[in-house]
Structure 1
């Protein structure tokens, strides 16, 4: 006959575990504080880490991040003033026509995230784009005259009133055969023509247009205006006049306008504006 028995130490261990289980069951749950990391003993005797440092627990992001895009220098200055610090870096890219601020840039001694950025992306005005769209193109008489009439506020010299008269003269001379174009001593261009309508057939006349005129254009939304000289272009083909203009170095004007925007930004902030783009 075999007699079974339990050793003393094993029986003691079973009793201790029972006490532990009862104690754990009787433990009152305690609230955990957001923003901290806890190590919790599990029922199976292991350890579980509970991380309450995330924004879903604290209610606030761990850091500022993202890129905000603005369209003028005033908006750039307003956002920059709110979020920048002494280590913020600012870069101006003349090729891209952008100004970028790395608001949380590295300090001299410690790295930072460099993930919170402000970007000024200048937007060309509709009027600037319209003048550039027709730059160097030869248009029909009516089309050219209508373009001048639609842009009278941009015309500085000769005056808008004078250019309106010229536009009307161009429109009135559509049913004629143009013979030649001559540059006058006054710097104007004179076009000679012969009427081809039945009532005026054979009658001769001329159309005089300034060889150059000055326009005032605002390149970017929120920027200053600039004067540009436009030179008259024309071609007489099959006795028909096609006419247009060529702006003098509009690219230089655009770069000057951008440089002026950068200068205005630099005057409003303590940090230097560096030439280039951030990493």
Structure 2
């Protein structure tokens, strides 16, 4: 019973004690009824400025990466390129040759493909109806290089003009173009025969990544004739290789502008 009374007195005294101002930057320990209570005031939130730089900043183009790298890097910073993830990562506070460092301050370039690249890749190898194919060409005239955009526009309009025809044969011309024979099925022109000449291949120019250079890709025309509506499409030649080359060029541009080698891999 005496022990219980003593504890009550102690608890009452603790609750009635006047508050004490604690000094930031130190660790305090207090005896309580349940043990020792620790108060740690050494964290950055108790200081005028953080002890060190931390966190990962993500950017999406080379210019932004280089600007921040110049601002925060030192002679011991490390840069890694990962071709599979299409990322370039700088460990700004990397270890020195003799001294470990925190490695907690990083800069990451995460490249994003452009809308045009996504749209061309989305329909790569897929067959479409005549009108859909023609509309796609019209929507992407700025990317059409060879034949010229004006010529491809005429081809697109010609494809749309015979959307109601039945196609029966396709032959390859000496020029490399394809000649597709058709018979009109609309009432006003029923039975009228004609030919549609389209290129077997065409060249497009695409910017793979936001802020990167443009690259040329060859597209091979694909079509299907089943004695009815014509289906058209294209197959891009090695788009993955173009994307890989574009990434390598980004890495090379970064390497030319910094004083440390760009390492192949990912940081720990």
When the two structures are superposed, what TM-score results if normalisation uses the length of structure 1?
0.83
CA 38–164 in structure 1, closer or farther in 2 if over 3 Å, else same: closer
Q: Does the aligned pair in 2 maintain the 1:166–1:209 contact within 8 Å? A: yes
Q: 1:181 to 1:62 in 2, by over 3 A?
A: same
User: How far apart are the structure 1 equivalents of 2:30 and 2:182?
Assistant: 102
**Structure 1: gaps spanning 5 or more residues:** 1-28
**Gaps in structure 2 of 5+ consecutive residues:** 1-19
Deviation, structure 1 residue 62: 2.0
| Root-mean-square deviation (Å) | 2.0
Please name the residue that 2:145 is paired with.
156
* Aligned mate of 1:239, from 228, 239, 243: 228
The answer to whether the Cα contact below 8 Å between 1:52 and 1:58 also exists between their aligned partners in 2 is no
Deviations 1:71-91 (A, max 9, x none): 000000011111111111100
Residues 111 and 194 (structure 1 numbering): CA distance in 2 closer, same or farther, change over 3 Å?
same
CA offsets 1:137-186 (integer angstroms, 9 cap, x no match) = 00000000000000000000100000000000000011111110111000
SS at match of 1:119: strand
Q: 2:102 aligns with which of 96, 107, 113?
A: 113
SS at match of 1:259: helix
Deviations, residues 54-82 of structure 1 (Å, cap 9, x unaligned): 22322211221111100000000011111
Aligned partners of 2:28 and 2:63: how far apart in 1? 50
Q: Is the counterpart of residue 272 in structure 1 residue 261 in structure 2? A: yes
- Distance across 1 between alignment mates of 2:153 and 2:264: 44
Q: In the aligned structure 1, how far is the partner of 2:174 from the partner of 2:208?
A: 33
Aligned-pair CA distance for 1:108? 0.6
Deviation above 2 Å: which 4+ runs of structure 1?
Answer: 31-35, 37-42, 47-54
The yes-or-no answer on 1:186 pairing with 2:168 is no
Tell me the TM-score normalised to structure 2 length: 0.86
Distance in 2 separating the partners of 1:55 and 1:223 = 39
CA distance in 2 between counterparts of 1:81 and 1:124 reads: 25
What is aligned with 2:59? 70
Structure 1 residue 198 displacement after superposition: 2.1
Work out whether 1:219 is the aligned partner of 2:208.
yes
